[in-house]
Amino acid sequence: MSAAGAAPTPPPAHALLAGGPGLRRRKLVNRTMESTATLAALIAVAVLAIVIVSVLIKGVSAINLDFFIKSPAPIGQSGGGIANSIVGTALLVALASALAVPVGILVGIHTSEFARPSVASSIRFALDILNGVPTIVTGIFVFGLLVVGHVQSGYAGAFALAIIMLPIVARSAHEVLSLVPASLREGSLALGVRRWRTVLRIVVPTAASGMVTGALLAVARVAGETAPLLFTSSIASNLVSTDPSQAFASIPVSIFTLSEEASPAAHAQAWAAALLLIFLVVLLNIVARSVFGRSQARIRRTR
């Protein structure tokens, strides 16, 4: 185009792309924000690392075979282990899972597959509140319900843990069920498969590993719960017990009681018990993640 007097000449490229006066300041702000966020992330990871390392250092000395297979030594004697607590925690968690996982998964199936959206969202709201109830309150509640007038028992402890697990299992079941593509439900319904059968045979199997993940994370969460057990299952025998009508010893409560004792050996055992607990939780999380990764891969293939 010839240089017509009226037409404004377009600015040269270097003027178009130049940042203008605020550029340096904006670059600085950008860099500051980025590094602050990175630092915060590093701090979070560092906290975890410090906890694990310090527990490892203090606890590893007390770890030996006796620690796993022997009951606590009578007062005044050295040695012994926390076998009763390990067995107790395993049984408490197993009983709690037996209560909470089926109910929680059914709740998730209800909210995801059958409930009207308004009903489903109020149920999920209730689950969120239940999830937010302090665990000591849950402990007191179960204490009032099952222990007062009776005795502490493994059943009571497991019931308290189940209350804590329920919302976690239900919410995660709901989430993974809603990840199942609607096209699969339609495909099944269009074959003339009834709704409940579609849910049971098509939707739930597709989401099954995700629900396992949710259950594992819930187990990891309650395995370390102390407060609900203090009122319900803490006055326990030093011997390994498998009778749920008696109170079970448990790893978290043992950490608490051992650390209250005067002897350094008991403190070391408390650290070792803490190390064992952390190891179990980390292990459960890793397993849960790998299971979930596989289920996601499967769902993605149908998208």
Partner 1 sequence: MTPDRHTGQPDAEMSEQPLEQRRIIPRPPGEQPTAGRMPPAGDAPPAPAAGDTPAAGTAPSAGDTPAAAPQTVTTPDTVTERQALAEGTPTRTVQLEGLRAFYGRAEQVKGVDLEFKANEVTAIIGPSGCGKSTMIRCINRMHEEIPGARAEGRVLLDGLDVYEHSVDVVAVRRAIGMVFQKPNPFPTMSIFDNVAAGMRLTGMRRRGAELSARVERALVDAGLWDEVSERLSEPGVGLSGGQQQRLCIARSLAVDPEVILMDEPCSALDPVATLKIEELIDDLKQRVTIVIVTHNMQQAARVADRTAFMLDGRLVEAGPTQEIFTNPSDPRTEEYVTGKFG
Whole-number Å distance between alpha carbons of 105 and 107: 5
Task: Using DSSP, state whether 220 is helix, strand or coil.
Answer: helix
The backbone torsions φ and ψ at residue 220, rounded to the nearest 5 degrees and listed phi first, read -60, -35
> Which residue's CB is nearer to partner 1, number 189 or number 281?
189
What is the token pair recorded at 247?
């109170």
> Which residue's CB is nearer to partner 1, number 183 or number 245?
183
For residue 286, the minimal CB distance to partner 1 (Å) is: 24
Whole-number Å distance between alpha carbons of 217 and 225: 13
Neighbours of 107 (CB within 10 A): 23
Binding footprint of partner 1, residue count (CB under 8 A): 26
Whole-number Å distance between alpha carbons of 56 and 11: 66
Which residue from 171, 152, 262, 267 is spatially nearest to 210, judged by alpha carbons?
171
For residue 173, the minimal CB distance to partner 1 (Å) is: 17
Length, in residues, of the chain: 303
For residue 215, the minimal CB distance to partner 1 (Å) is: 18
Using the rule CB under 8 A, which residue among 56, 181, 240, 259 binds partner 1? 181
Using the rule CB under 8 A, which residue among 197, 235, 242, 282 binds partner 1? 197
Which residues between 82 and 141 bind partner 1 (CB under 8 A)? Answer: 116-117
> Which residue's CB is nearer to partner 1, number 206 or number 233?
206
Strand ranges for the chain from DSSP E: none
Residue 193 interacts with partner 1 (CB under 8 A): yes or no: yes
> Which residue's CB is nearer to partner 1, number 84 or number 198?
198
Residue 263 DSSP class: -
Residue 293 interacts with partner 1 (CB under 8 A): yes or no: no
Q: Given the rule CB under 8 A, which residues bind partner 1?
A: 116-117, 181, 183-194, 197-198, 201-202, 205-206, 208, 298-299, 301-302
